[in-house]
Structure 1
Amino acid sequence: MNCVIIIQARSDSKRFPRKVLSKMEDNTILWHVINRVKKIDSCDIVVATTRRKIDNSIVNIAKKSNIKYFRGRTNDVLDRFYKAANKFDADIIMRITSDCPLIDPQESNKVLKKFLSRKYDYVSNGNETYPDGLDTEVFSFKALKKAWKNSKLRSDREHVTPYIWRNKKIFKIGSVKNNGKNMKAYRWSVDYKDDLIFIRHIYARLYKRKEIFLMNDVLNLLRKEPHLMKINSHHTRNEGYTISLSND
Structure 2
Amino acid sequence: MILAVLQARMTSARLPGKAMAPLRGEPMVWRQVERIRAARTVSRLIVATSVEPVDDPLATYLLSRGQSVLRGAASNLAERFLRTVEAASAPTHLVRIKGDCPFVDPAIIDDIVRLALSTGAAYASNRVERTYPKGLEVEVASVAALNASIALADPQSAGTRSPLAQIRARPDLFAQAHHHAPRDLSRLDWRVKTPADFAFARAVYDALHAADPAFAMQDVLDITQGRQDLARWAA
* Counterpart for residue 224 of structure 1: 226
1:40 partner letter: A
Q: CA deviation at 1:55?
A: 1.1
Paired position in structure 2 for 1:128: 130
Q: Which residue of 1 aligns with 2:176?
A: 173
| Amino-acid identity (%) | 23
Determine the C-alpha separation between the residues in 2 that align with 1:219 and 1:105: 16
When structure 1 is superposed on structure 2, of 85-94 and 102-111 the one drifting more is 85-94
Deviation at 1:92, TM superposition (A): 0.8
Structure 2: tracts of 5 or more residues without a match: none
CA distance in 1, matches of 2:175, 2:166: 13
Give the distance between the partners of 2:29 and 2:150, measured in 1 at CA. 26
1:67 aligns with 67
AA aligned opposite 1:207: H
The residue that corresponds to 2:20 in the other structure is: 21
Q: Please report how far the alpha carbon of residue 226 of structure 1 lies from its aligned counterpart in structure 2 after TM superposition.
A: 5.5
Answer with 201-210 or 89-98: which moved more. 201-210
Q: Which structure 2 residues correspond to residues 26-45 of structure 1 after superposition, within 5 A?
A: 26-41=25-40, 42-45=42-45
Residues 170-209 of structure 1: matches in 2 within 5 Å? 170-179=173-182, 181-208=183-210
Q: Which amino acid aligns with 1:201?
A: A
C-alpha distance in 2 between matches for 1:87 and 1:30: 20
How many Å separate the matches in 2 of 1:81 and 1:106?
24
Structure 1 segments of 4+ aligned residues over 6 angstroms from their partners: none
* Residue deviations 1:85-133 (CA, integer Å, cap 9, x gap): 1221322100011211111101110000101102110000124311111
Distance 1:215 1:140 in 2: 26
SS in 1 for 2:140: strand
Q: Decide whether the 8 Å contact of 1:151 with 1:157 is kept in 2.
A: no
Number of matched pairs: 231
CA contact (8 A) 1:31 1:65 kept: no
Distance 1:65 1:210 in 2: 21
TM-score (norm: length of structure 1):
0.85
Q: How does 1:11-160 map to 2 (within 5 A)?
A: 11-41=10-40, 42-88=42-88, 89-126=90-127, 127-152=129-154, 154=157, 157-160=160-163
Gaps (5+ residues) in structure 1? 234-248
Give the deviation of 1:143 after TM superposition.
Answer: 1.1
Tell me how far 1:24 sits from its aligned partner. Answer: 1.6
Q: Distance in 2 between matches of 1:97 and 1:87?
A: 19
Cα distance, 1:225 vs. partner? 2.1
In structure 1, distance between residues paired with 2:180 and 2:233: 26
State the secondary structure of the residue aligned to 1:157: coil
Query: What is the SS of the residue equivalent to 2:97?
Result: strand
RMSD of the TM alignment (CA)? 2.2
CA distance in 2: counterparts of 1:62 and 1:81, whole angstroms: 19
Q: Structure 1 pair 47/79, CA: closer, same or farther in 2 (3 Å)?
A: same
Tell me, in whole angstroms, the C-alpha distance in 2 between the residues paired with 1:14 and 1:143: 32
1 CA distance for matches of 2:62 and 2:148?
29
Quote the Cα distance in structure 1 between the aligned partners of 2:226 and 2:172: 45
